[in-house]
């Protein structure tokens, strides 16, 4: 996709501007002593700066669109049909610990449907983009989900419940079933990049529950435009609303869904 649409030009420009400050912030946070107060406050400030930049740049180009922001909440726009769904730092815990696996995530929703998405890792300079009906791309190279047909050959990404979140016991039972069926499990800590990696064929599938819209908005359209199949973990059709997502290629979806939903 050497010629970007006007919409994608707006999105990539906003992400690149926010990324410049984030890269500087990431270089500083790596030097901080990890504690509960200082680094957390620092990362919150980095989140807010990035979100402010994204909002300003997108508003310049599309002044009537609304926003759903991780930090700033919902902001109604004059245009009720369109809103940006933004996570300025998806993978905050990775960012806090100096792990270079985090992303800016921007999705555009029209009439309740995601029509464009961008996931950008500023450290690796990998920018995943997609528009409805136009395919998914990584730095201008077309993406396709993997062609694997057997779960025993598949690498599956997931999110794992942690302190203060999720029911650990039930999750471990599900994880045990998946571990026995696949070639490998990956827990990388950034939902938007997990979905982007499925779109790129780096992972063969991904599941998680308890997500927020900004965690997955951009990633959902990436997977779909790369030829993948996305539902809720139980097969429902509204992952953005439910926070439950299962993304794979079409061949692996039914088998993985069956394993995840065994009693």
Task: Mark whether 41 is an active-site residue.
Answer: no
Task: Mark whether 160 is an active-site residue.
Answer: no
From the candidates 57, 90, 194, 232, which is the catalytic residue? 90
User: What does DSSP assign to residue 119?
Assistant: E
Task: Mark whether 106 is an active-site residue.
Answer: no
From the candidates 215, 221, 225, 231, which is the catalytic residue? 215
Residues 6+ apart with CB under 8 A from 105: 86, 87, 90, 117, 118, 119, 120, 192, 214, 215, 217, 218, 219
Residues 151 and 248: their CA atoms lie apart, in Å, by 11
Residues 104 and 90: their CA atoms lie apart, in Å, by 6
Distance from first CA to last CA of the chain, Å, rounded? 45
From the candidates 87, 204, 208, 232, which is the catalytic residue? 87
Task: Mark whether 90 is an active-site residue.
Answer: yes
DSSP β-bridge partners for residue 128:
119, 138
Task: Mark whether 111 is an active-site residue.
Answer: no
From the candidates 25, 47, 57, 70, which is the catalytic residue? 70
Task: Mark whether 124 is an active-site residue.
Answer: no
In order, the DSSP letters of 206-232 are EEESS--HHHHHHHHHHHHHTT-EEE-
Q: Residue 145 in contact with residue 226, Cβ under 8 Å? A: yes
Give residue 96's region: left, alpha or beta (phi > 0; psi -120 to 50): alpha
Residues 64 and 142: their CA atoms lie apart, in Å, by 31
Residues 202 and 140: their CA atoms lie apart, in Å, by 17
Residues 225 and 180: their CA atoms lie apart, in Å, by 30
Please report, for the chain, how many H helices and E strands are present, in that order: 8, 13
List active site positions: 70, 87, 89-90, 92, 215
């Amino acid at each position: 996709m050497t010629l970007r649409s006007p919409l994608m030009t707006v999105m990539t420009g906003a992400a690149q501007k926010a990324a410049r400050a984030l890269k500087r912030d990431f270089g500083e946070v790596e030097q901080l002593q990890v504690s509960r107060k200082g680094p957390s406050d620092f990362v919150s400030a980095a989140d807010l700066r990035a979100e402010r930049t994204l909002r300003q740049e997108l508003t310049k180009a599309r002044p009537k669109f609304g926003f759903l922001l991780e930090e700033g909440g919902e902001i109604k726009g004059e245009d009720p049909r369109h809103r940006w769904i933004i996570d300025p730092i998806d993978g905050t815990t990775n960012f806090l610990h100096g792990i270079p696996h985090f992303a800016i995530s921007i999705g555009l929703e029209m009439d309740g449907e995601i029509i464009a998405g961008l996931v950008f890792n500023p450290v690796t300079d990998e920018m995943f983009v997609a528009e409805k009906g136009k395919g998914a791309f990584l730095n201008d190279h077309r993406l396709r989900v993997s062609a694997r047909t057997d779960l025993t050959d598949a690498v599956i990404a997931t999110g794992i419940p942690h302190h203060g979140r999720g029911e650990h016991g039930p999750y471990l039972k599900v994880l045990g079933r998946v571990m026995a069926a696949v070639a490998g499990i990956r827990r990388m800590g950034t939902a938007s990049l997990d979905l982007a990696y499925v779109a790129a064929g780096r992972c063969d599938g991904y599941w998680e529950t308890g997500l927020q819209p900004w965690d997955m908005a951009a990633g959902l359209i990436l997977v779909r435009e790369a030829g993948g199949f996305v539902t809720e973990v139980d097969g429902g059709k509204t992952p953005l609303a439910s926070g439950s997502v299962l993304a794979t290629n079409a061949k692996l979806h039914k088998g993985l869904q069956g394993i995840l939903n065994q009693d």
